[in-house]
Amino acid sequence: MSITRLALLAVAFGSLLFTGCGDSGSGESAETDIMVAGTETYVHIDDATEFLPTWSKENTVVYHMIGDPDDMHPANGNSATRSMLHNYTQNYIIASDLIELKGGRPDVVKAMPEVSENELEFTYELRDEPAWDNGEQLTVDDIIFTFKAIKCKLTNNPHAKPYLENLMEIVADPSNPRKFTTVMKRKYIQNIVFLTDYPLLQESYWDKNKVLRNYTFAQLDDASFDAATKKDLNAWATEFNSPKYSRNPEFLVGMGPYRFEDWKPGQSYTLVKKENHWTSKVADPNAYQTAYPDRIIFKNNSDNNSQMLEFKAQAMDGSTWLDTKMLIELQNDPIFNQNYHSRSTNTYNYSYMSFNCRPDGVEHKKLFDDKRVRRAVAMLIPSEEINVVLNNGLNTRMVGPVSPLKEEYNTDLPLIDYDLEGARKLLAEAGWADTDGDNILDKVIDGQNTKLDFNLHYMTSTVSWKDMAQMISEALYEAGIKCNIIPLDFAIHYDRARNHKFDAMLAAWAGSSVPEDFTQIWHSESWASKGSNFSGFGNSKSDALIDSIKYTIDKELRHPMVKELQAMIYDEQPYVFLFAANRRNVIHKRFGNPHMYFERPGVLINNWKLLSGGAAATTSAVQ
């Protein structure tokens, strides 16, 4: 699961933490141990004590989703859905920690690393059990190959490369074939947890001719190294980037306990538990090493009415994708409460409206290259009204790219409130006026009279995005701005964003609890490389500050710099920061271990254990 890198999130915005209405039912106590982010780490929920006759005994989880992943290639792609599925199909050196929120935990290694005195060398030792599906044991060669493949300039993953810039080399231990050391260039706040972003790759599967052994980390890291001139490297990369490794279940391979069985685009994607998986050899498996369900079906449904019917009919076993109103309505149904655990939990995610601050001036006009216009739009968005209408007033507003859950959140920056007259004044200062009396502002730009008329992209994943876009459009029109709302499915939305083919867009980022490296979204190089800096924010000063933040280990020194960056972003207004999102959790009571987590994706479906009333209940890890 991606934790250090933000993933574009196809999700609606949620509510503040609230407890479910009437979560008791059929002999189960309503008491749960609700832990609050910042003091404790997750919501612990007791198992139901009675298995009701109406509950299915099939050991299959049908989990509600609202869209497909963008790409299931283990090295390419950048969606939260993809990261969630990788929890079950892939393994990592260090994996994310949902339970204790320590940032990382050992996955295929025996322990967290030994750290050198200079804090630049991190030594790990592989566990003996991890093995690929063909029975080959995981080796240090696989580790080295994985990170060479991701670093290679020809690999189609520009969003991932900034987080490997600090990796200098991976060195095998000559005295122990199970040990290796990651050598870093500089001290860095994520010199360990960056590993949670990168699923491991089997060299014998992905590089049968061992092409990458011909190239060193130094070469792959050298800006002057012309990879495009290397025929063997080009041939390898062409195959590695092949679309078949992105969507064809036959080629969606990994070391995790589940394999892809089926993918019906727009409908469902199914994982099936592997037989004789390596975790069956683990003496005392933890919650991450279990695989209790025989099958996990991720079923897409973005229609609110249909979602309501499916949960009332117990056709779904879980979700973190229901909108606030839907969950509240379901919680008013005693039958639903009898069958499901439901809660809303804190997350590190947030929703936003992004501007194209560096438009090409041809396909996309120079409408938002002036920060006064961007601030005026921010002042015209009725955030409080949106909060009330769409989320019963339960959302948390925010001012920048740092979660209010974090101590480095800049509380000195005031929320931008609705101010029609103030916005009109800013627009006038920026040269916008209605010169032809059509109620739409205009301005001469590059010699042409240009209307303040733009397209606002939003995702079709939930109706909440549409409702929000409509409310924004109506509010902007009052100030003489024409906002055309354009629905897009997630893959197209993301592709247009990273290629800067938009005027403005609504989206959300899935964040995490670890110290944040702002390179991916806010460094100007990430705009030039078509990474995740969609807006085009950044200059030499902000880039230098971002570089300093990520190399400052001492939080007493780092946090003031993070607050300064928030202030710079606040001043430039490349985003309108909307709401800190919450996760709406629903889990069927026929499963044990129904805990809910603040860290994304908020659930460990592999650890849902069919209760003893179910005929197919299992007793331990993968068999």
Question: What b/e sequence results for 25-37 when a residue is b if at least 16 CB atoms lie within 10 Å of its CB, and e otherwise?
Answer: bbebeeebeebeb
The larger pLDDT score, comparing residue 439 to residue 583, is at: 439
The larger pLDDT score, comparing residue 9 to residue 433, is at: 433
**DSSP characters over 46-64:** PPPSS--TTS----EEEEE
In the chain, CATH 3.90.76.10 covers 91-241
Model's pTM, two decimal places?
A: 0.77
Average pLDDT over residues 408-416: 97
291 pLDDT higher than 50 = yes
Which two three-digit tokens encode residue 125?
């030792």
Q: Is 477 exposed, middle or buried (0-12, 13-18, 19+ CB in 10 A)?
A: middle
φ/ψ (deg, to 5) at 256: -70, 170
The residue written with tokens 């509510």 in the block is 15
Contacts of residue 362, Cβ cutoff 8 Å, sequence gap at least 6: none
The residue written with tokens 């400052």 in the block is 552
Going by pLDDT thresholds of 50, 70 and 90, the confidence category of residue 106 is very high
The domain defined by 91-241 folds into Dipeptide-binding Protein; domain 1 (3.90.76)
Question: Residue 489: what pLDDT?
Answer: 92
Provide the 3-class DSSP secondary structure of residue 340: strand
Going by pLDDT thresholds of 50, 70 and 90, the confidence category of residue 54 is very high
Looking at the chain, how many residues does it have? 623
CA-CA distances (angstroms) from residue 53 to 427, 553, 613, 614? 64, 55, 9, 10
Average pLDDT over residues 184-200: 93
Going by pLDDT thresholds of 50, 70 and 90, the confidence category of residue 616 is very low
Average pLDDT over residues 101-121: 95
Q: Report d(CA 484, CA 373) in Å as an integer.
A: 17
Alpha helices for 115-207 (secondary structure H) = 140-151, 203-206
Question: Residue 15: what pLDDT?
Answer: 31
Question: Residue 8: what pLDDT?
Answer: 56
Average pLDDT over residues 413-426: 97
Using one digit for the tens of pLDDT, what is the confidence trace for 141-189? 999 999 999 999 999 998 788 778 899 999 999 999 999 999 999 999 9
Least confident of 70-74, 163-167, 388-392, 501-505: 388-392
Going by pLDDT thresholds of 50, 70 and 90, the confidence category of residue 133 is very high
Average pLDDT over residues 326-334: 94
Going by pLDDT thresholds of 50, 70 and 90, the confidence category of residue 7 is low
HEC per residue, 487-531 = EECHHHHHHHHHCCCCCEEEEEEECCCCCCCCHHHHCHHHHHCCC
Question: Residue 17: what pLDDT?
Answer: 27
Question: Residue 39: what pLDDT?
Answer: 57
Average pLDDT over residues 473-501: 95
Question: Residue 198: what pLDDT?
Answer: 95
Contacts of residue 141, Cβ cutoff 8 Å, sequence gap at least 6: 172, 203
Going by pLDDT thresholds of 50, 70 and 90, the confidence category of residue 394 is confident
In the chain, CATH 3.40.190.10 covers 22-68+249-344+586-610
Question: Residue 438: what pLDDT?
Answer: 96
Using one digit for the tens of pLDDT, what is the confidence trace for 207-218? 999 999 999 999
Q: What are the strands, taking DSSP E only, across 403-446?
A: 442-445
Alpha helices for 249-344 (secondary structure H) = 304-312, 324-331, 334-339
**Percent of the chain whose pLDDT exceeds 70:** 92
Q: Report d(CA 449, CA 510) in Å as an integer.
A: 39
φ/ψ (deg, to 5) at 320: -125, 20
φ/ψ (deg, to 5) at 464: -60, -35
Using one digit for the tens of pLDDT, what is the confidence trace for 577-609? 999 888 899 999 999 999 999 888 999 999 999
Alpha helices for 253-370 (secondary structure H) = 304-312, 324-331, 334-339
Question: Residue 31: what pLDDT?
Answer: 33
427 pLDDT higher than 90 = yes
Average pLDDT over residues 433-455: 97
Question: Residue 9: what pLDDT?
Answer: 53
Going by pLDDT thresholds of 50, 70 and 90, the confidence category of residue 67 is confident
Provide the 3-class DSSP secondary structure of residue 32: coil
Q: To which H or E segment does residue 582 belong?
A: strand 575-588
Going by pLDDT thresholds of 50, 70 and 90, the confidence category of residue 510 is confident
CB of 259 within 8 A of CB of 86?
no
11 pLDDT higher than 70 = no
Pick from 275, 345, 290, 313: which is nearest to 586 by CA? 345
The domain defined by 22-68+249-344+586-610 folds into D-Maltodextrin-Binding Protein; domain 2 (3.40.190)
CB of 152 within 8 A of CB of 92?
no
Tell me the average pLDDT of the chain.
90
26 pLDDT higher than 60 = no
Contacts of residue 135, Cβ cutoff 8 Å, sequence gap at least 6: none
